[in-house]
Amino acid sequence: MQVNVSSPNSFTRELKIKVPWDELQDDFNKAAKSFSKRIKMPGFRPGKVPVKKLMSMYLSDIEAHFIDSHLNDYYLKALQQENIVPVNRATVDDIDFGYEKPLSFITKAEVEPEIKLPKLRKRSFKIEKNIYEPDEEDMNAAMDELRKSKMEVQTVEDGAKTGDFVIADFQKLDESGLPIIGEKLDQRFLKIGEDPFTGENESKVLGAKREDAIRVQLPTDQSGNTAPYELKVLNVERQVLPEVDLEFAKSIDPDCESLEAFTENIRKKIEENYERRSNEELERTLSDALIEKVNTDYPPSMVDSYLDHMVTELKGEANRELDEEKVRDVYRPIAERNLQWFLIRKALIQDQEFEVTKEELDKNLDEAIERNPDHKKELQQYYKKPSNRQRIEDDLMEKKILDYLKEFAKIKEVQVATKTLRERASEENT
């Protein structure tokens, strides 16, 4: 077999393949025998038609059958011969074959490009690391979340107030005030003081009690159009948050000895969370900096494959139809970035001969058990599952790579008040 390989770009391989007849003959004869079993000819059992008669009547069909059944075999042999691993299905062109003649064809497929890593020196990367400074609002928000986890819901008998929840049936009315058949929503929750129950609607539901009937105007579309509804109140509920005292603290952490110690522990966890966020951002910035230096090409088919997987996942999560093209447009930059990092990461592992040893995996398990001694058996079972162990190995490998890159980075620490994060989040939501 003769194989001529060319590279139109860094991720495409074109193979011009030519197989001489003496290498094809056995496979052709097998294809002819297979084809003969399909033929019904008077005087002959299936598969027993003489070869000469078969060839004289069906040669072109046998040649086509041979191509269909064996072309891929020769393509795979050519890949193996040239040590090429494609990442997509190849295109096939210019097939040329005839009985007792060589077979020739051209294939084109994408491969992972060879990554040329830059020579790294001290301060190859100049990056910033955000150091977050939590404030009392962070503390209050964390404490409110804990209070909500221990919240009690009480039925209100003396009339609803702002912030209470009203459970009601919503019946849409026509212009004359009569119910519209089929336009009823059963057992819906509304919170007094939140859209659309603000302003005039809020004043109408304040003081509401069970079995009250209240008429309100509710929006029917985003243009501001409204329609009359009658609310039949089924119940009024009030969420009561516990006081922050030692009893509350012990309901969250039975081992805490004082309210002060509990509060300090919450503050410490907030700081740890922001530190984790800071480190994750630094690692992302560091990998982005290397991506920019390498600026590698990538096979479009790998991006498409990533997006196919993303669409499938989102469909499963949403359990409904998605605008697939919109999803692909939104996630394409993420797919391209992640693919570039995947290729560079793989090249770094090979270049530096990084590996994660069994001892490192076992140590990781021991540390996890030390942090969560009450879940020792569950953790041991988790680490036994090959897919989980592979995920942990990947995380440890990522840490090795990023620790290596940090050796070549000049990192400037920048103090950031967490108030700034809240303001940014608020702007993004408006």
Q: How far is residue 220's CA from residue 334's CA, in Å, rounded to a whole number? A: 37
67/62 Cα distance (integer angstroms)? 9
Question: Among positive and negative, which fits the CA dihedral 348, 353, 358, 363?
Answer: negative
Give Cα 32 to chain centroid, integer Å: 49
**pLDDT of 220:** 84
The pLDDT assigned to 335 comes to 93
Task: Determine contact, residues 315/322, Cβ cutoff 8 Å.
Answer: yes
Angle among Cα 210, 211, 217 to the nearest 5 degrees reads: 100
DSSP letters of 102-126? -EEEEEEEEBPPPP------TTSEE
Q: How far is Cα 35 from Cα 67, in angstroms, rounded to an integer? A: 12
Q: How far is residue 362's CA from residue 384's CA, in Å, rounded to a whole number?
A: 11
**pLDDT given at position 58:** 79
What is the predicted pLDDT for the residue at 54? 74
Beta bridge partners, 260, equal none
What are the chain's domains?
2-110 (3.30.70.1050), 130-136+248-295+354-429 (no CATH), 152-240 (3.10.50.30)
Q: What is the pLDDT of residue 45?
A: 62
Give the span between the Cα atoms of 252 and 261, in whole angstroms: 13
Tokens (6 digits) for 67: 């191509």
H or E element in which residue 410 lies: strand 409-417
Quote the tokens at residue 104: 């020739």
pLDDT of residue 48: 65
Rg of the chain, C-alpha, whole Å: 35
Q: How far is CA 364 from CA 146, 361, 371, 374, 400, in A?
A: 30, 5, 11, 17, 14
Cis, bond preceding 196 (omega within 30 deg of 0) = yes
Q: Residue 257: how many CB atoms within 10 A of its CB?
A: 11
The per-residue DSSP string of 382-409 comes to HHHSHHHHHHHHHHHHHHHHHHHHHTTE
Residue 237 neighbours by CB under 8 Å, 6+ apart: 153, 154, 155, 156, 164, 165, 166, 167
Are the beta carbons of 81 and 15 closer than 8 angstroms?
Answer: no
Cβ–Cβ under 8 Å, residues 209 and 225: no
- What is the DSSP secondary structure assignment for residue 430, as one 8-state letter? -
- DSSP code, position 44: B
Residue 287: closest CA among 329, 332, 243, 345: 345
Instruction: For residue 67, give the nearest of 36, 39, 104, 13 by alpha carbon.
Output: 104
Tell me the three state secondary structure of residue 418. helix
Q: What is the pLDDT of residue 243?
A: 93
Stated pTM of the model:
0.76
How high is the mean pLDDT in each 10-residue block of the chain (430 residues)? 94 96 92 79 64 78 92 95 94 94 96 92 93 95 94 94 95 92 93 93 94 92 87 95 94 92 95 96 95 89 91 77 86 93 95 94 92 90 92 95 95 95 83
